[in-house]
A and B are shown apart, each in its own frame.
Chain A
């Protein structure tokens, strides 16, 4: 159960990370016409953003979790 929750948390974090800019954009543009552009993020752009942010957050989580486990 604990493991399932852990995987779920990781999955949710990834989804949140993926959609964060879009959520922010939608929140701040509420009521406005959607942006018509061909400049938008490519799949590669999203992939690089998500992979790098997840890797950094994962490393930070790993380090701090281990630090908290060890006595000061």
Chain B
């Protein structure tokens, strides 16, 4: 019998009941606010406070906000709704990760292998993200101990950072490794306690704390005024002007639109499978529309209001209109780990504000890294029937080993390579296919109905059209432009220094092994289930 190309699972009421029971046997969130804070925590990361202001300053200032908000409406919010809906749908069938969730949406034997990206991508990002997160913990500690207080020039601060990262400072690689281990343990301890008692409880403390710290820092920066009366131009209003004065001529540049779409895309944690996992722990009639929109609003608040009020204005006030240009061009990490500590060295109570700044980044980072680890843990738990604690332990051991290259070989370009595959390539590819699956294969009418189950808010009808046509088109454009502008060069290692090439090749082999390993695990899990179903059927017959 020839199988139809598109075969949808048309479940009967009885099957839905069984699915609900299956889904109900999984953990669930303790409260609506719990999952909203957890998803917002997943979205609010280092990029909100470091990447966004740099992107805005480099791409037209205030004018950048026009493509930013358009991208948010056409790409960010629809993708957020898609992932919440898809996740809750899959959760009802006992699946919390893309292989199982996609399979429950489309009876195609290959789609589960595509879903591997939804576990692979977050794991690859996690491989370097915990390491970067551990720098913020280290710098919080160093702020209090005054370790960087003697670094008064940009060169000295860069040297301090490099010696820490490269393990050439006092104590060699041990301080970096030590802070990494502490950060790693905190992440996995939170996960060990599960969804409601671990992640949700942590998010309920961490997120309000993050916003309070952000507000305190923003208010401090907004009251800097003109610290040096001899340089009256180095003041707050001019600092804000540097970021907000619009250059509308740049709106004609495709680069600016791509930068805005990329920023929206990367900041919301959509298109990689983490939100699918979080939403899979929802109950079948829990709202997804309003919850998703609230998570977007919290992330945007952290990014546009807090993010734009801290680093760039502060850097302008202390370094002036000329140096700020090179600082912004130096990139987000330079701004966060070099420029900001230098400012803290200058101000009264700098140790406290330095501690606050790096703690803010640490909290933003940890809520994101926990969500990055969730798909892999959930995959092991759901598809192999092991307990959450076993899954966390197994994945913790493997993940620790996977993270080591980014700590030990940072200077050899390993982190950039991991970011390329996990943070860019997989993200765009996964989101594109996920959107097509949702709007075209699952069907926009079914998808619409599914999204509105238990919804506290109706999505405006024109979004049906946006989700079906505009969002996929937008994603294809991003994918195409990105492949032409960056993808090919990175793939061919054109910008890699010759001494780093072996490290990049080894990293790629490691990633290939990881992807194949996950593919084999998916196959093994499905075969195991098939065998179980057969045995159950035979048992019933006899």
Residues of A at under 8 Å CB distance from B? 20-22, 24-25, 27-29, 32-37, 39-42, 44-49, 51-53, 55-57, 59-60, 63-64, 66-67, 70, 72
Contacts and interface: CB of A to CB of B under 8 A. Distances in A.
B471 to A, nearest CB: 19
Contacts of A34: 232
B237 A49 contact: no
B32 A67 contact: yes
Interface of B: 31-33, 36, 61-63, 65, 69, 222-226, 229, 232-233, 235-238, 240-242, 244-246, 248, 287, 290, 293-294, 296-298, 300-301, 304-305, 321, 456-457
Nearest to B247: A44
B238 A45 contact: no
A57 to B, nearest CB: 7
A63 B297 contact: yes
Nearest to B457: A66
A32 B226 contact: yes
B223 A28 contact: yes
A19 B68 CA distance: 24
Nearest to A68: B33
Contacts of B36: 67
Nearest to B316: A39
Contacts of B287: 70
Contacts of A28: 223-226, 236
B154 to A, nearest CB: 22
Contacts of B294: 60, 63-64, 67
Contacts of B242: 39
A35 to B, nearest CB: 4
Contact of A41 (B63, B229, B241): B241
B533 to A, nearest CB: 37
A42 B241 contact: yes
B238 A39 contact: yes
Contacts of A21: 222, 236-237, 240
Contacts of A24: 222-223, 225, 236
B304 A52 contact: yes
A45 B62 contact: yes
A25 B241 CA distance: 13
Nearest to B235: A35
Given A24-B222, A48-B244, A70 B290 contact: yes
B246 to A, nearest CB: 5
Given A41-B238, A49-B244, A59-B297, 14 more contacts: A20-B222, A27-B223, A28-B224, A32-B229, A37-B238, A39-B238, A39-B321, A46-B244, A48-B62, A48-B65, A67-B36, A67-B290, A67-B294, A70-B32
Contacts of A53: 304-305
Contacts of A57: 301, 305
A46 B62 CA distance: 9
Contacts of A60: 294, 297-298, 301
A55 B241 CA distance: 19
Nearest to A30: B225
A28 B293 CA distance: 37
B65 A63 contact: no
Contacts of B300: 56, 59
A22 to B, nearest CB: 7
A53 B244 CA distance: 12
B237 A40 contact: yes
Contacts of A33: 229, 232
A46 B253 CA distance: 23
Contact of A29 (B222, B225, B238): B225
Contacts of B236: 21, 24-25, 28
Contacts of B241: 39-42, 45
A64 B36 CA distance: 11
16 contacts: A20-B222, A21-B222, A35-B232, A37-B233, A37-B238, A39-B238, A40-B237, A42-B246, A51-B65, A52-B62, A52-B65, A63-B294, A67-B33, A67-B36, A67-B294, A72-B32
A39 B240 contact: no
Contacts of A72: 31-33
A29 B31 contact: no
A8 to B, nearest CB: 23
Nearest to A42: B245
Contacts of B293: 59, 63
A24 B301 CA distance: 20
Nearest to A47: B62
5 smallest CB-CB distances across A and B, nearest first, come from: A28-B225, A48-B62, A45-B245, A63-B294, A45-B244
B33 A44 contact: no
A10 to B, nearest CB: 17
